[in-house]
Amino acid sequence: MKKYLTIFFFTLFIYNTYASIENNIINFYIYPIEKTPLNLILDKSFLLNKLKNIKGKNIKKNLIDFSFTENENEISLFFDKKSYNLIGWQTTDIYQNSNTTVLSSIDKNINLTKNLFRLPKQD
């Protein structure tokens, strides 16, 4: 299991096709990635097809927001207005639980080994 990210009292672990979110105080929860909005966000073909049918909204002076609903999850993707880099996303599920992810220190065009992440196969 690879420790991926720790924020406040929560740590995200990735193992094969599962993501585990551990509450460093009490519990941990395991979710199959294919049942989460993260699987959609990682699917480049899905995103490109979705985004070409959505008009982005300017939020703040340097941010564009593309929002859509898929599988009862509201997904908002945030892009830098000048570079068009994906800088984060927010998901809201049917219970109104909201999760925001912000990307920083982004490296581009880095060659990664194929086995670094094992994600579910996309259709």
Kindly report, residue by residue over 51-97, the tens digit of the pLDDT: 998 998 998 888 999 999 998 889 999 999 998 888 999 999 888 88
Q: What is the pTM (predicted TM-score) of this model?
A: 0.67
Residue 112 lies in a domain: no
Residue 64 lies in a domain: yes
Q: Do 23 and 76 share a domain, yes or no?
A: no
Nearest to 106 by CA among 80, 85, 82, 90: 85
> Residue 44: which domain range?
36-106
Q: Do 44 and 100 share a domain, yes or no?
A: yes
Residue 99 lies in a domain: yes
Q: Do 28 and 58 share a domain, yes or no?
A: no
Residue 19 lies in a domain: yes
Work out how many domains the chain is built from and give that number: 2
Given this model, what pLDDT does residue 30 score?
Answer: 59
What whole-number percentage of the chain has pLDDT above 90? 18
Gyration radius of the chain over CA positions? 15
**Distances 43 to 7, 8, 13, 49, 96 between C-alpha atoms, Å:** 25, 28, 19, 10, 23
